Amino acid sequence: MTFKILSCDGGGIRGLITALLIQDLDRRSGIIAKADGFAGTSTGGLIALGLARGVSIAEIVDVYKTKGSEIFQENKAWTEQKEALENRVALAGPGLFACQYVSTGLEKVARELVGDGNLASLSRFVVVNSARLWDAAARSWVPSAISNAKSNAYRNISLIDAALATSAAPAYFPPHEIAELGYFADGGVFANNPSVTAISEALASGLPDSQGNLRMLSLGTGMSPQGIPPSAIGDPLGWGVSKWLWPWASGSVPARALFSLTLDTTSMLAAQQSEQILGGDYRRGNFVLGQPIGLDDWKKVAEMENETNVYMKSQEWQGVCQWVEQNWQ
């Protein structure tokens, strides 16, 4: 029997794109009820945990459409910093000397989605990524696949801890502390696309009886149309912190280039690796956005919805829908 996992990328408020794609596929093929497991990173982790708990996709879509201002509540220290720098940071996104947002609103919305239970209480498999900032045994920070698989070290943590650990985007939100385990940061720093993590965790846990019986549908949050053209490099020796982490765009170099590069390329690499591992049993749905949309650009939900509707009329999306019809039974 096949074991089917729905995998959801990170991307902040762009999780609306993933949720809309899931909603379309669920109307067509009932993919949520047929899924055996869910995987997610960051905002995708919130979606995965919500779906595993039985929250309707309509409710999840509504969260992204209506709760952006509640999720992204500015940190007072960041506001003071912004004013001190004559509002330049306001154009740039996450804080230089303080995280841009408090986690109060994020926690409230996340709790509405995932409730007060723990991971082990969920009946379907779920895995989310997070970076543990200190592991005493390893004497280092470590990547963490947080799942409800029987052998997983984190299976008894609360759903809200899992949700906040996977979505604590560095410089946007503060690191999240889990009692007795320490602090965690957003899993997007190493696996913004959780496909490979989910494949590994599912196989290691013996959930599909063989790799040949594993199916995965991976959905992105839209790719920003950005990169660094050769003409923008200038002197390569000049590419230090001030170039890679400059907090606002400079010419054709995007703001926080290293951060965006990490998120985008880890997502692309995971898709390539998953396809190499699973072949035709892996399918990816994603598209290039018409404009850059930041993780916290909640005022652009209408633009995201419009772009997603256009993508859902494309031949590429019809191919994804056909794959689901043939492989998601």
158 assigned to active site: no
Q: Between the CA of residue 216 and those of 40, 77, 205, 325, 329, what are the distances in Å?
A: 12, 42, 16, 13, 12
pLDDT at 99: 86
Q: Which CATH number fits domain 3-328: 1.10.3810.10, 3.30.1330.10, 3.40.1090.10, 3.40.50.10490?
A: 3.40.1090.10
| pLDDT, tens only, 16-26 | 999 999 999 99
pLDDT exceeds 50 at position 90: no
pLDDT at 250: 86
Quick one: average pLDDT of 100-128?
95
Q: Is the pLDDT of residue 103 over 70?
A: yes
Structure tokens at 127: 């895995």
In this structure, what token pair is assigned to residue 118?
């723990």
Whether residue 274 lies in the annotated active site: no
Per annotation, catalytic residue among 42, 167, 267, 274: 42
pLDDT bin (cut points 50, 70, 90) of residue 260 is confident
State whether residue 39 is helix, strand or coil: strand
Question: What mean pLDDT comes out for the span 92-103?
Answer: 74
pLDDT value for 91: 44
Is the pLDDT at 321 greater than 70? The verdict is: yes
Give the pLDDT band of residue 254 (cuts 50, 70, 90): confident
List the catalytic residue out of 9, 161, 186, 297: 186
Residues 6+ apart with CB under 8 A from 51: 6, 22, 32, 35, 38, 57, 60
- Flag the least confident range among 173-182, 233-242, 271-280, 305-314: 233-242
